[in-house]
A = this chain, B = another copy of it.
Amino acid sequence: MPASALIAFEARKTPIQARSAVTVEAISEATIQVLLTHGAERFTTTRVAARAGVSVGTLHQYYPNKQALLFAVLENHMNHVAETVEAACENARIKPLAEMIREMVEAFVDAKMERADISGALYRVSANIGGPALIKRISERLRKAVEAMLQTAPDAKLPPDKFAIDTMLAAMAGAMRSLLEAGPSPGAVRKLREQLVLLCQSYMMAATSVR
């Protein structure tokens, strides 16, 4: 999907008056709530409007269609995760490779778990609302952040491979998804965090030393 196709999902109108900002926020929150309580299949614009306490008309004034609504929430969530991970990468520069990876992975897992409910619900719809294109964009951001971080590692023998980083990120996201779709228990989260750290560490070490 070309970048231009995303335009269709952008919000229709920017709030000018104060009250409309409240409305937009209400709709956004209602979107999540409906997604959580009714599931992706029973997610309808009417229900969202009702939950938000506004009319369908109002909803469509801000989001041209259902996809735009979901896309906005998805984008929000992904941006939050991306920003968190980027910050972690920034913060982990110059530290030893293993430490870098640990901090990055933990930031990712924690950011996802922070709103585990949303994450899980969004997986159900992301494919139908231009999710893949967004994921691509976010992946690229993360790849760059990780790449920049790795280049400051004092103990990495080789420059890191773009594709390897992509693979690591995809693997990490995939494992996380698995967990979220299964419904995560607190213990499982802790274990996954550990395992993912180990997985990414061992992979990155192998990938930056071998060629």
Contact of B206 with A198 in the complex, beta carbons under 8 Å:
yes
Q: How many chain-A residues does the 8 Å CB contact rule pick out?
A: 40
Report B-chain residues with C-beta under 8 Å of the C-beta of A202.
202-203, 205-206
Q: Smallest Cβ distance from A1 to chain B, in angstroms?
A: 10
Report B-chain residues with C-beta under 8 Å of the C-beta of A91.
none
Contact of B198 with A207 in the complex, beta carbons under 8 Å:
yes
A135 and B181 alpha carbons, distance in the complex (Å) = 10
A201 and B206 alpha carbons, distance in the complex (Å) = 9
Contact of B41 with A128 in the complex, beta carbons under 8 Å:
yes
Report B-chain residues with C-beta under 8 Å of the C-beta of A41.
128
Chain A residues numbered 166-211 whose CB sits less than 8 Å from any CB in chain B: 166-168, 170-179, 181-182, 191-192, 195-196, 198-199, 201-203, 205-207, 210
Mostly, the A contact residues are: helix
A–B complex contacts, Cβ < 8 Å, 15 sampled: A124-B128, A132-B181, A139-B178, A163-B195, A164-B195, A164-B198, A166-B178, A167-B196, A170-B175, A171-B172, A174-B175, A195-B207, A198-B203, A202-B202, A202-B203
If A41-B128, A173-B178 are given as contacts, then 20 extra A-B residue pairs at C-beta distance below 8 Å, sorted by A number, are A40-B127, A40-B128, A123-B127, A124-B127, A124-B128, A127-B181, A132-B181, A136-B182, A167-B175, A167-B195, A171-B171, A171-B199, A173-B174, A174-B175, A174-B177, A174-B178, A195-B207, A198-B206, A201-B206, A202-B205
Instruction: Pick the 5 closest A-B CB pairs, nearest first.
Output: A174-B174, A170-B178, A171-B171, A202-B206, A202-B202
